[in-house]
Each structure stands twice: as structure tokens, then as C-alpha cells.
A and B are shown apart, each in its own frame.
Chain A
Amino acid sequence: DAKTTQPPSMDCAEGRAANLPCNHSTISGNEYVYWYRQIHSQGPQYIIHGLKNNETNEMASLIITEDRKSSTLILPHATLRDTAVYYCIVPNAGGTSYGKLTFGQGTILTVHP
């Protein structure tokens, strides 16, 4: 899997946008970027994924740079319930890790009142 680098922790005020960065400079042309989050004592939750165009769903937006070496997950109006560990994952498309998610340490996002 392409290596990803995320800051260990970030803070955000409730109601403000939370912008979580991820570096994946070794990403290959056909590899997607996936984001998951894990709220304390729960299983991970799929958020969004993308290849090169910006993506948006009901949970978040994903902005991928033109060179695809980094991306940002945006939670437009963070709430206290968004406090979680956020994982950026770049699986090895079609390689030996087919279907296998490799989780790093992620970013601990704390949303403050």
C-alpha cells in the first residue's frame, strides 16, 4: 500500500470546518484514497473515497491535489459527535492487498464546544 502521513492530532471548534490533511506522495496512478473514522469504542466507519476529482457526500468532502500526492478531508460543520480518529488509506489497487485495508495511526480529531 502507498504510505500515508497524517498529523497525530488536530482540534476544531464546533460549527467550524475541520480540514484533515493526508500526504501520500508514493501513490500510483490507479490507486484511490479512502477515508475512514473510528469513534471511541465503535468500529471504523467508511466516509468517502476518490481517485483524482473532488468528491462530496452527505458526510464530508474530499479534495485531492492535482498531482495526487496529498488530499484533505473536509467536515464542513464539525459537531461534537465528529470527535474520532480519522484514517487516510491508500490501498494497493489490484496488488497483493486486494480487499485488505491497512490502517495507520490516523489523526485524532477533537471537536471543542
Chain B
Amino acid sequence: DAGVTQSPTHLIKTRGQQVTLRCSPKSGHDTVSWYQQALGQGPQFIFQYYEEEERQRGNFPDRFSGHQFPNYSSELNVNALLLGDSALYLCASSLEVGSYEQYFGPGTRLTVT
């Protein structure tokens, strides 16, 4: 049973560029959430997708956007990258929307230079 997978593992971008991160949820899960984890901090909720719609959003600017596909996989897009966007981006999936029992992927380490 495949767990949550994310790609790429690491990514280096330049300030002002755009980036797309990808996530495949755990088998049988239809809800995907994204979190940002800065160095030394706990993860912060970005948004949650269910039925291809954004259902919940944290305190992140519109530069952060997402998408969910019919197969439940998801993308996180960040535009106009800032140095402060450097972080570990985590994807989590759950069996149902609103569930707090979430299963996390290994994350994508984004470095903005």
C-alpha cells in the first residue's frame, strides 16, 4: 500500500521564479492538505483540497495556489518566489475532508536563492 509520495525531493529556485510541487495521496484517500515548514518551526497549514476544490485555507498570500486532479493527486504552485519561501513543503492526505488523522509525505525541500 503506497503511502503519500511527493516530487521532487529537493528544488532550488531563484527569487521571482515560479515553482510547482506534486503530491500523490495514500491509496483510498481523497483529501489532500499542504503545509509549509520553515527551519526549526512546526508545519503551518496552507490549504486543503477535496473534490477538486479548495476547502480550507490558512494565512498564506494568493501567490500560493493549488489544484487537485480527478485521481486525487494535487499540485502546489508558488509564484513570485521570495527568499522567505524557502522551506520544507509537506503534503498530507486523509480518508475524508475535515479529518485530523492525516498521513504525511516526506516533503519537498525548496531553496530560494
Contact surface of A with B, Cβ cutoff 8 Å: 32, 34, 42-46, 49, 85, 87, 89, 91, 97-106
Chain B: residues with Cβ within 8 Å of the partner, total of 27
- Give the docked Cα–Cα distance between A95 and B107 (Å): 28
**Quick check: A44 and B97 within 8 Å, CB to CB?**
no
Chain A contact surface mostly: loop
Residues of A with C-beta under 8 A to B56: 97-100
> By the criterion CB–CB under 8 Å, are A46 and B102 in contact?
yes
State whether A106 touches B106 (Cβ < 8 A): no
Residues of the A chain whose Cβ atoms lie less than 8 Å from the Cβ of B33: 99-101
Could you say which of B41, B48, B90, B105 contacts A99, with CB atoms under 8 Å apart? B48
Query: Can you add 20 more A-B contacts, CB < 8 Å, to A98-B98, A99-B94?
Result: A34-B100, A43-B4, A43-B92, A43-B105, A44-B90, A44-B92, A44-B104, A46-B102, A85-B42, A91-B100, A97-B56, A98-B56, A99-B31, A99-B33, A99-B48, A99-B56, A100-B45, A101-B33, A101-B92, A103-B42
